[in-house]
Amino acid sequence: SIRAAIIPATAAGLPLQDANNNYPDTLVFIADTSIAQAVEIQDGGGIVIDSFQVRVRDQVAEDDTLSNGQDFTLRAFIAFSSNIAPDGRFARISLPLGFTTSTDSVEQAVQDDIAVVDWRISINPSILEDLLNPVGGEPSAGKPASGGRISAAASKLSRGETSERQDLGGVLESLVTQEFQLDVEARGVSAIDTTRNITASESQTLWVEERAEMAVNALIADPPGARLGVLSTTLPFDLNVWVDKLGDAGLIAGDSNYVSLRVPSGFRIDAPGVLPGDSILPKLALGTGPAAAREVRVYAPDNAPAGGTPPRLRVRLDSTARDINTLAPAFIGEALETIGVTVEKRATLRIDNLQAGSSTLGSNQPFVLSGVIANVGKADVEPGDSVSVELSFDPTRFQLQAGQSARKRVKLVNKQAPVSWNMQTGPELGDFDLLATIIDSLSYDEHGFDSIAVYTEKSSDTATVTIADVGNATIVSALLYNQNG
């Protein structure tokens, strides 16, 4: 209540006297010294923006860091007192440059005293690049964006949290994680005094970092002779496949990437679940990074293609691990890796024309056994185009001359080489064989594994020698004849 009272004294503190009757010091008569009026005080109304939630895929985000190109929901919890008129309650969001929401949801009418207001927001995929390279200006990291604020002082650049990527011009660019501020204002009209507008505002700070971007990679890892993409018919090679991650955003632990491998006709994949004749290896699960690479054994076709377009191996990234910010599969930057290969006829050895010069020899007669080793394939032989060959024979019927060895190693020149042994027949008469055999395990194809013996089309050749008694010519007498008699 409000009370008014009469104080019976002058400003100087003297008693009040009746002006017409001042004898003897007649005081003013006061009938009632005070009056009171009861007053009711009511709350004119108040608004409180209590808290925010950043929600991703209907879940509360673990922190305030998001990825460029991401969609999310900002949820505000707003309390209106009962003395705020129910028909004049609104919540409005102001977004920085690079953030968008639907036009009809920027300002929303609110009915409840305890209100939950959601804004579905999208982050531009190029938001960080636009800050780094704005149109018509210098990099704007640290400059306020239209409709919002970017704090360079608080940016993660100060903590060294950057990512680097190389553009086509060879210039290293850094997409720096940036801070953005989203402003929310709630307003209403007092139900007590309708001329009075009541407002409240709060801000939500978000970090935006470069999204996880995945790229599939593949290369021929082994054997070394196949790494440049030249293969030999029928021979195996190992294809290494892995998925790289670009960008600062992490991935959800334990998630896998899935790739598929397609090989041209005639190639064969040696992997569980792949049947003979299948040209596709589907759903190969991979971790992330070169350390998580998987090795796939592939066999080249039996025959080299007869011209035309060179065959290509294709590795496709079908699905990715989830971005830790978006909780959705990471963005696929490079979905396809192709490897062009050349297939040539494998190194193919044969030995021919093994002969002793004459098919009939006398006993204990020296002779030269010779033959020709040839590579009739296109691929060369390793190591160093050299081939080992071994001669087999019955030592009671043939002997090697001094300094000769049954095993020889020859070097192919223009894909062939002669091989020979200096020998001597024994005393026994008859038809006897000499056998020369290529030792294939000591050579390998230049595009193959050194543990796989070189292919031999004709691994041995035989020479049959007849040791016979050729007889002796002896002069037993001489007759001197005189023509003139």
Q: Identify the CA nearest to 73 among candidates 107, 121, 110, 123.
A: 121
What is residue 24's predicted lDDT score, i.e. its pLDDT?
56
The more confidently predicted of residues 19 and 401 is: 401
CATH number assigned to the domain covering 47-209: 2.60.40.10
For CATH 2.60.40.680, the residue range(s) in the chain are 213-344
Structure-model confidence comparison of residues 357 and 455, the more confident one: 455
How confident is the model over 393-399, as a mean pLDDT?
Answer: 95
CATH of 213-344, one of 3.40.50.300, 2.60.40.680, 3.30.420.10, 3.30.70.20: 2.60.40.680
Query: What confidence score (pLDDT) does residue 135 get?
Result: 63
- Topology of domain 350-468 in CATH is Immunoglobulin-like (2.60.40)
Q: Which pLDDT score is estimated for 259?
A: 98
pLDDT tens by residue, 266-308: 999 999 989 988 999 999 999 999 999 999 999 999 999 887 7
In the chain, where does the domain assigned CATH 2.60.40.10 lie?
47-209, 350-468
pLDDT in tens, 102-140: 999 999 999 999 999 999 999 999 999 988 777 655 544
% of the chain with per-residue pLDDT over 70: 79
Predicted confidence at residue 52, as pLDDT, reads 96
Q: What is the pLDDT of residue 19?
A: 62
In this predicted structure, which of 54-58, 86-90, 230-234 has the lowest mean pLDDT? 86-90
pLDDT in tens, 432-481: 999 999 999 999 999 999 999 999 999 999 999 999 987 655 555 555 55
Q: What is the mean pLDDT of the chain?
A: 86
* Whether the predicted pLDDT of 200 surpasses 70: yes
Distance of CA 432 to the CA centre of its chain: 66
